[in-house]
Structure 1
Amino acid sequence: MDEIEDYSEKIHEQSNEHAHEILHHSESKDRWVMYVALSTAVIAVLAAITGLLAGNHADDAMLTQIHASDQWAFYQSKGIKAELLASTDHVLVVMGKQSDTVDNKKIAKYKQQQQDIMKKATEYQKESDTHVERHDVLARGVTLFQASIAIGAISIITRRRPLWFVSLGFAAVGLFFLIQELFF
């Protein structure tokens, strides 16, 4: 993502430099370039905010996935303990020795603990999935903002106003994704 941010920053800087040149060396009819440069700066800020939020959700998704994995490992260890006790009891019965009822209580306890652990692991997994979904929505917004910045720069370089409107359209859709994530 750093490469993309560096690329969009370079495009933004180049378009601003070009905008300053046009403003100082051209007629007043090209003053729209100033508005393109200003809108591009605002879009760059929105892209940075959206990228930060997307990164936070990616980090949170990874952390909760690690918690879920830890819980599943704990679940497995309880299952192994229960099976080991059951196997030991079975061997004792086959050998003609009496099975210890304490082991049966421990087995039941381990099985109950497994159910509780499974609930926690499932909750962590759902939370991780939610963070991944939120990250995906915000990542779409970042992509659209970056495309908007690039198209805005192209509109300045080629002096084509309709491209600026296309740029604003991309930014509007990116803003939709940002707002969707923040308020819904």
Structure 2
Amino acid sequence: MAEVELPDTDELEELKEKKFTRRVALTTALYAVLLAITSLGGNNAMKEMLLAQQQSSDQWAFYQSKVMREHLYRTQKVQLEAGLIERGSSMTPEARRHYEDKIKKIGEEEERYNREKLPIEHEAKKLEAEREINRSKDPYFDYAEVLLQIAIVLSSIAILSSSRGVFAMSMISTAIGSVLSLNGYLLIFSIPFLH
């Protein structure tokens, strides 16, 4: 009868630990990829928020310049109308016609500035809405990054200690971080204390 060699229990345990270590290491690499994707989303959300804020500020400044020009023309028109009323009867027909022409031209300019400022206001409000969307996204990316970094640390500890419990905690941290990261991209739900 052939002799059957039984495997050494220490070797089996070492093989089992090696398999666990490889799995955790591979999973940790996946965590790092998720962290990179989350970090990219967070950086982009922040850049887009700042860019939209700057562009909306520029639009509001442009809007304000239109408003100021409109008021300037309105003031000039009122002054000319007052001058026409005050000196109207004593003016020559040519001077009166000159005043009326000026009042008409200034009134047209006032109207033009009034019309021109409306699309600028619309664009500024659109940029503000874009800024707010990106502002809403940013906290989700921030918390997701923290949770994914914690998951990487926990999985490293799991490798060193061969602890399946610590590895399970890293998986939970990754799951929550991944959901928050996905929400940063899509804004599926809102968590009030994050805003």
What band does the TM-score fall into relative to the shorter chain?
0.7 to 0.9
Contact 2:41–2:184 (CA under 8 A) maintained in structure 1: no
Count of residues in correspondence between the two structures? 159
* Map 1:8-157 → 2, pairs under 5 A: 27-31=14-18, 32-95=20-83, 96=86, 98=99, 100-157=103-160
After superposition, the C-alpha distances for 1:15-36 in whole angstroms (9 at most, x for unaligned) are xxxxxxxxxxx82342222222
Partner of 1:4: none
In the superposition, the TM-score normalised over structure 1's length comes to 0.77
Distance 1:76 1:116 in 2: 13
After superposition, the C-alpha distances for 1:124-157 in whole angstroms (9 at most, x for unaligned) are 1101211222233223222211111112122233
- Which structure 2 segments of 5+ residues have no match? 1-12, 88-98, 189-195
Q: Which SS does the other structure have where 2:119 is aligned?
A: helix
In the superposition, the TM-score normalised over structure 2's length comes to 0.73
Quick one: which amino acid aligns to residue 44 of structure 1?
A: A
Structure of higher CA gyration radius: 2
Structure 1 window deviating more from structure 2 (160-169 vs 57-66): it is 57-66
Runs of 4+ residues over 6 Å off in structure 1:
none
Instruction: Report percent identity of matched pairs.
Output: 26
